[in-house]
Structure 1
Amino acid sequence: MLNDTDRRILRHYQHDATLGPADLADLAGVTPATCARRLERMQAAGVIRANRAVIDWHALGYEVEVSLRVTLDKTQSRAFDEFVAAAREVPEVIEIQSFLGRVDIRLSVIARDMAHYQQVYRSAILTLPHIADIEALMHVARIKSDEVLPL
């Protein structure tokens, strides 16, 4: 699906999506028209899903991140869907992942401090439906967080 030219464009684009087609084309060694056409094609094909701002939540005063591993009560047929729908409504839940195995769901929760986390945990997390078991893992450091692909 992708050829070497597409990969060159993507390699530079994923490092700086604010580059205009002319600058990106120059880095990728193609004409601006070719670069723009290929970006459009990759967007239409779903290879490039979005351009977005990445906000540093630490800069906004969120100092605590906790991963919650949740096992659901699977005796309820709608447990997964109802849990996920309710978890999406909690503003401090910034990521929801599902798994096969002993753990069904992982929630990534942020809070301003431990008192705020405790309030969110008690009032919003523990009230989520169909929780059979929950385990909290406090984040100490983010060693690597990279969305750049090896193209």
Structure 2
Amino acid sequence: MAELDKIDRMILKELQVDGRISNAELASRIGLAPTSMSDRVRRLTRLGYIAGFGARLDPHKLGLDLLVLIEVSLDKTTPDIFDKFAAAVRRAPEVLECHMVSGGFDYLVKARLKDMATYRAFLGDVLLSLPGVRETRSYPVIEEVKNNGPLPV
């Protein structure tokens, strides 16, 4: 974070809110010349602060109404099993996020599916067949209170 100055942080905040903002509009909001703004955005991208740009889609419009969080416990916790599990879960399109955690289980998986019947099939056909999976606990989300908060920069 030492490479970021106040202007860089302002740019990152604006881009998190509206990634489609034009360079000219971004420059105007920040108070820089468009050429300087373009150079800074390129630099922030090159340094990896900006990981990419994309559209946030409405899952409900796409018929993906069920969000579920799943605790996954593995039968062994060895580097080989971790690698195999991670590689397999990366190939599952239903999985939005997967995090290795410490505590009472090994991974926390966030998945988005059509409905509970689709989740049941995903659980049996995909998740429980992943390498090393011993046990899962599922938590269907009743309400998404906050799901797209910008990072505090």
Alignment of 1:87-102 (within 5 A): 87-102=89-104
**Per-residue deviation at 1:89?**
2.1
Q: Summarize the alignment of residues 26-41 of structure 1 with structure 2, pairs less than 5 Å apart.
A: 26-41=28-43
Supply the RMSD in Å over aligned alpha carbons.
1.5
- 3-state SS of 2:70 partner: strand
Residue of structure 1 equivalent to 2:63? 61
Which amino acid in structure 2 is aligned with residue 94 of structure 1?
L
SS in 1 for 2:129: coil
Taking the aligned partners of 2:102 and 2:8, their CA distance within structure 1 comes to 34
Distance in 2 of aligned mates of 1:5 and 1:75: 44
Q: How many residues are paired up?
A: 151
1:140 and 2:150 matched: no
The one-letter code sitting in structure 1 at the alignment partner of 2:142 is: V
SS of 2:17's partner is coil
Q: Aligned partners of 2:108 and 2:94: how far apart in 1?
A: 14
Question: Which residue in 2 is equivalent to 1:8?
Answer: 10
Could you say which residue in structure 2 is the equivalent of 1:79? 81
Amino acid at match of 2:44: M
1:52 equivalent in structure 2: 54
* The 10-residue stretch of structure 1 (72-81 or 25-34) with the greater mean CA deviation from structure 2: 72-81
Instruction: Output the CA distance in 1 between the equivalents of 2:90 and 2:33.
Output: 43
Task: Please name the residue that 1:104 is paired with.
Answer: 106
For 2:152, what is the secondary structure of its paired residue? Answer: coil
Helix, strand or coil: the match of 2:117? helix
Matching of residues 114-129 of structure 1 within 5 Å: 114-129=116-131
* Displacement of 1:75: 5.8
Percent of matched pairs sharing the same residue: 32
TM-score (norm 1): 0.91
Please give the TM-score of this superposition, normalised by the length of structure 2: 0.90
- In 1, the alpha carbon distance for the partners of 2:88 and 2:107 equals 13
Q: Which runs of 5+ in 1 are unaligned?
A: none
State the shift of 1:33 in Å.
0.9
- Measure the CA separation in 2 of the matches of 1:27 and 1:86: 44
Unaligned runs of 5+ in 2: none
Q: State the Cα distance separating 1:125 from its structure 2 match.
A: 1.4
Structure 1 residue 117 displacement after superposition: 1.2
